[in-house]
Amino acid sequence: MAILFGSEEWIETWMEEVNRSEPYAKAGADWEGDFYFIVEPEGQFAETIYYYVDLWHGKCREAYRSPDGKEKEPAFRLIAPITAWRQVVEGKLDAIQGMLSGKLKVKGNLIKITRYVRAAQELVACCSRVETEFPPAR
């Protein structure tokens, strides 16, 4: 059954996929850093979604939907409209290319992120393993 993108269940299921992923464990073995993945309103999609994700040495230590993205001060914020996030989740947009092209805005050290291209690719692969339903455009 598909899980609604933007829900707490979606990010929890993604975290489980990340923590089961041996390729991510290897690619992210040296990574230390947390994120807010921020889904911006677009068109008739009027809601802002904040996912907090703490990645540490090849595992996801914490992942949840934040009510307002204010309770943590993560090293990175990755910001994009729902259409760009959908492309990432469906594997149609490489996350690093999205950052470099400006489709995904990054607040934080982009140089550090680009040193972990394989880890980013594995995180996206974990997204694609979560059967996802996207919110209607309303």
For β-strands 76-81 and 32-40, DSSP reports them as parallel
Q: Report d(CA 129, CA 131) in Å as an integer.
A: 6
Domains of the chain: 3-133 (3.30.1050.10)
Q: Report d(CA 89, CA 110) in Å as an integer.
A: 20
Instruction: Write out the chain's pLDDT in tens, 138 residues.
Output: 899 999 999 999 999 999 999 999 999 999 999 999 999 988 878 899 999 999 999 999 999 999 999 999 999 999 999 999 999 999 899 888 898 899 999 999 989 988 999 999 999 999 999 999 988 755
Look at residue 136 in the predicted model and tell me its pLDDT.
72
Q: How far apart are the first and last CA of the chain?
A: 22
Look at residue 106 in the predicted model and tell me its pLDDT.
93
Which of 131, 120, 118 shows the shortest CA–CA distance to 76?
A: 120
